Structure formats: C-alpha cells, structure tokens
Amino acid sequence: MGDRGRLVLPFDTRRRLGVEAGSPLVLIEADRAVLLLTQPELLRRVRADFKGTGLVDSLLEDRRREATAEDSQ
C-alpha cells in the first residue's frame, strides 16, 4: 500500500481478473480482512447465494394473495 492509501494490483492479477483502468471494484471489509471483487463477480456471488431460495416465487405468491384479498373486499 502506498503512502496515500492506494493499492496496486500487479499486472498479471489485473489481466487474469479482466480489470482495467476505471473498472468498478467493490471492497468488502469483514473480520479484519478485505475482499476486493469486480462488480460482475459480486453479482455472480449474490445470485449464487440466492439460487434455489424461491425468493421471487415467494414474493409473487404473497402479492397474489394480497391481490385476491383486496378483490374480495
């Protein structure tokens, strides 16, 4: 880390990750550690975490029940 608090990613790392000047990165601080992710990688991880949870289906079903209840009033 430089004296201005800047991090430098080695060229090989940037090339492997597809990171170029101006690429959006996300820095996550957790348990005295830092995780640096590209935005596409963060999106992939979030989607993987929610895959199979049926969250959208559950929300749609709730909304259908609410709409049915409103219609019957």
Q: Secondary structure of 8-69 in the HEC alphabet?
A: CCCHHHHHHHCCCCCCCEEEEEECCEEEEEEHHHHHHHHHHHHCCCCHHHHHHHHHHHHHHH
pLDDT of 51 > 80? The answer is no
Please indicate, yes or no, if residue 1 is contained in any of the structural domains.
Answer: no
Please indicate, yes or no, if residue 15 is contained in any of the structural domains.
Answer: yes
Please indicate, yes or no, if residue 3 is contained in any of the structural domains.
Answer: no
Please indicate, yes or no, if residue 6 is contained in any of the structural domains.
Answer: no
For residue 18, give its domain range.
Answer: 11-71
Please indicate, yes or no, if residue 64 is contained in any of the structural domains.
Answer: yes
pTM: 0.57
Q: Number of folded domains in the chain?
A: 1
Which tens digit of pLDDT belongs to each residue from 15-38? 998 899 999 999 999 999 999 999
Mean pLDDT calculated for residue range 39-67: 86
